[in-house]
Amino acid sequence: MMAQPKEGKVNGSGGFLTARHAAFTLALLGVALIAAAAFALAVGSEHVPAGEIFRALVAKVSGNESALSREQDVIIFSLRLPRVGLAAAVGAALAVAGASFQALLRNPLADPYILGVSGGAALGSILGIMLAGELPYGRPLLSFMGAAAASFVVYRLGRRDDDPARLVLAGVVISTFLSSLIALVISVAEDVKLRNITLWLLGDLSSGSVEGLLFVIVTVIAATAALVTQARSLNLMMVGERDAFALGVETGRVRWIVYLTATLLTGAAVSAGGAIGYVGLVVPHLVRLAGGADNRLVIPSSAVGGALLVLLADTVARVALAPRELPTGAITAIVGAPVFIFLLLRGRR
């Protein structure tokens, strides 16, 4: 009888994942995220010292009166704080979705955008802007439906046992088709809605709503927790689905859980923040490079790393040409493309 390996012990760098290593990595990323959030709250057209913001937060929690002026209070708590939360949640959702797809398909290029999932979400969101703009959750619902439909079509077209490359090829074809549909829908949009759609497609976090923020935060927390429970199975499936099945992994169930969860994450992120690229492609690679390929660490670390990347990109988009704003998606592309090229060259060497 073949002995089974101890599940989830070995990480992708050839070492062993320990609780101490995982806690240290997550704590380091968490501190960086908190520092980035504090910086994002402080800078902008109206600079507010971080110390005053901290004291104002304490005063808000304790029920005391804030020392900030009325204008500063509105800027920090009504404008910047919700945007910081939205940027972090969108980045976390995209990075976790990318890490999940890459682990499931055993393909480093697997990403919501390459697989066409984000294209379906974008098409659904555009229809939501045009047809259901007044409904609080109209856009997120249609975005998830579009992402789910695209994911289902790609899965049916490209699914073949132990051949994940077919799924990526099917995703590229569907993504191209959806891009054509998006261009067709935009061409018949009204002028006012056309401007909103154009900004949103470039990655826009300035028009996020409270409902969208809450939806993304709840989705990220629930989906990341669900994916972490499948991390051990994903570790074995990265070797091969047949081998994982022989070791007792219910590959079909794990596959559907990961697909549906990653699709939900993509739909939530795209509906709230628009088309922000390279997050789900680059962040999981950087996490694996730094901490190994054990998905028990990769998935939660990708969530924090994705939140950090999008938060920093959105801060640059706000302050680089203040009071004008740049598209957040353009900043992530400018940063993400060179990083990914570097990773490709490093892998070749």
pLDDT of 1 reads 38
**If DSSP codes are grouped into helix, strand and coil, which group holds residue 207?**
coil
Model-wide pTM > 0.85: yes
pLDDT of 115 reads 83
CA dihedral 32, 33, 35, 37 (to 10 degrees): 160
pLDDT of 161 reads 55
Q: What are 335-346's pLDDT values in tens digits?
A: 888 887 887 777
Q: Is 142's pLDDT higher than 90? A: no
Q: Output the six-digit token pair for 264.
A: 């939900």
**If DSSP codes are grouped into helix, strand and coil, which group holds residue 234?**
helix
CA dihedral 246, 249, 253, 255 (to 10 degrees): -80
Share of the chain above pLDDT 90, in %: 25
Dihedral sign (CA 22, 26, 31, 36): positive
pLDDT of 217 reads 92
The rounded mean pLDDT for the chain is 83
User: Where are the chain's structural domains?
Assistant: 85-348
pLDDT of 325 reads 84
Q: What is the CATH number of domain 85-348?
A: 1.10.3470.10
Q: What are 16-48's pLDDT values in tens digits?
A: 667 788 888 899 999 999 999 999 999 988 888
pLDDT of 68 reads 82
Region 309-322: mean pLDDT is 90
Nearest to 48 by CA among 77, 76, 84, 82: 76
